[in-house]
Chain A
């Protein structure tokens, strides 16, 4: 398996890619916060936020529809919010009698539901844009600058690095199982449920042992290469004038969006 499967970074030369990662992290968090602050049903403000997102998409050189295409990951969860439609507040729009339960969709409930969906959809897109335009080590470095404990960022850095290695390990274990599971055509394979569980548990245990022993070897080789407890970078971050400008303009837009949302 190749690294590309997990790495969501897409390189194209663009202004957004060149921005300081700290600015991008701040912008992302502020955008999500702004969406959460907007009152329900402030459609003009949501539309403005979407416009801002489209501009950011365009500036990143990845194409206007880039984040839209990948934003479906958030869709399944909207199922959870469906029950908000039947909020007893607001005036009823219809009565659906399903036999065992009577559902009454209301206007306020519908507004609430669509506001939640739009908020989540906008927030997911900016997060997609963040990881698509920032290399993961840079992202972690930015989080470290933003006062995330170094222990945690180092753990995440290792997690990211060994994700690919251990995923390969998983595929090797799965292949080994396949190779030992001969089947006859037309005969249902696999043992009883308890046997399957035991096999899966042994696979998890085996994966654990291989990971543990590998981490031991990794540590030894890191020590011999001068590891002192944290990872150093060759990519120092400096805030330039353009970074400040982008941050300022973006915050200005968010203030306008909030204003539109609360006034209308």
Chain B
């Protein structure tokens, strides 16, 4: 049995009730919207399809592939689902996947499921679909490249939010958990991006009718593009800032009344010990993050072109 728990599934007990409740609230609103949208715009036919697609995502997570350094790429699938099925259906499919992983395999908790659905279902759909929607009428190479970039950013954003949730709950120290989570997920996200691109290229080649672009464009409007771009930019900017300068975030969080308002001992991160391999100034780390993102997108563009060329041969 190849099923292995992924580090993004937060179990019960790791988040405080306040943090769990906040993310449940966001998740309930988004999933409720998704349910009413799909009920209104799609027929009953869509429900069995979404169910089987959810089973597909679950089964596809078993197709591991090795990346350098002994890690293996673990496919999450949120971006692929949102691009192929549309954003609302993508959210519902990922909600079902996260829900059944928690219910059946205890991979992720019940009380914290709102946060898990948000990280792995909603964020990935908003980022993955939003960015893809931006270039939906462009050439195939560009679309594939953006889909790959979106998948990578979505994975990083999920890791970022999981770290922030854990930190707000006083479970971890931000300056330790954030670099670790982002480091691991930079690799996992790479696998995610490459598989998403390769799978999309395959589907475009064999059943282009399934990726009905006009249909998909009608379903998600400018709202998706704007929120997708804004959230990805936020994620790209916050990650280096937060890992280089956790005190700033700490101050924001305590101003908002998070730290110290809960039942648990508030955390204060001492400036005495810091990790030297992190950047010195916020500017340099943001730059580093941006350069990394550009390099990655360039790589994915090259790969997309390459696959495209092989197709047309």
Contact = CB atoms under 8 A, between A and B. Distances in A.
B232 to A, nearest CB: 23
A73 interface: yes
A12 interface: no
Nearest to A177: B63
A159 B11 contact: no
B218 to A, nearest CB: 20
B265 interface: yes
Given A80-B166, A116-B171, A159 B75 contact: no
Contacts of A131: 103-104
B261 interface: no
Interface stretch (A53-61, A205-213, A232-240, A242-250): A205-213
Interface in B193-216: 194-203, 206-207, 210
Q: How large is the interface on A (under 10, 10 to 19, 20 to 34, 35 or more residues)?
A: 35 or more
Given A89-B265, A155-B92, A204 B275 contact: no
B47 A207 contact: no
Given A8-B104, A35-B13, A205-B202, A215 B48 contact: yes
Nearest to A6: B104
Contacts of A198: 198, 307
Interface stretch (B37-45, B132-140, B237-245, B286-294): B37-45
Contact of A212 (B53, B54, B171, B265): B53
A128 interface: yes
Interface string B41-70: 000110111111111101110110110100
A124 interface: yes
Contacts of A181: none
B151 to A, nearest CB: 12
23 contacts: A32-B110, A36-B13, A36-B111, A37-B17, A73-B106, A76-B7, A86-B173, A151-B38, A157-B51, A158-B51, A159-B52, A163-B55, A166-B59, A167-B62, A197-B65, A201-B197, A204-B63, A205-B202, A208-B199, A211-B52, A212-B49, A212-B52, A228-B44
Interface of A: 5-6, 8, 28-29, 32-33, 35-37, 39-40, 70, 73-74, 76-77, 80-81, 83-84, 86-90, 100-104, 108, 112, 116-124, 127-128, 131, 136, 139, 149, 151-152, 154-163, 165-167, 169-170, 173-174, 193-194, 196-198, 200-209, 211-212, 214-216, 218-219, 222, 227-229
Interface of B: 1, 5, 7, 9-14, 16-17, 20, 31-32, 35, 38-39, 44-45, 47-56, 58-60, 62-63, 65-66, 68, 73, 75, 80, 84, 92-93, 95-97, 99-100, 102-107, 109-111, 166, 170-173, 176-177, 194-203, 206-207, 210, 263-270, 272-273, 275-277, 303, 306-307
Q: Which 3 A-B residue pairings sit nearest by Cβ, starting from the closest?
A: A201-B198, A158-B51, A205-B202
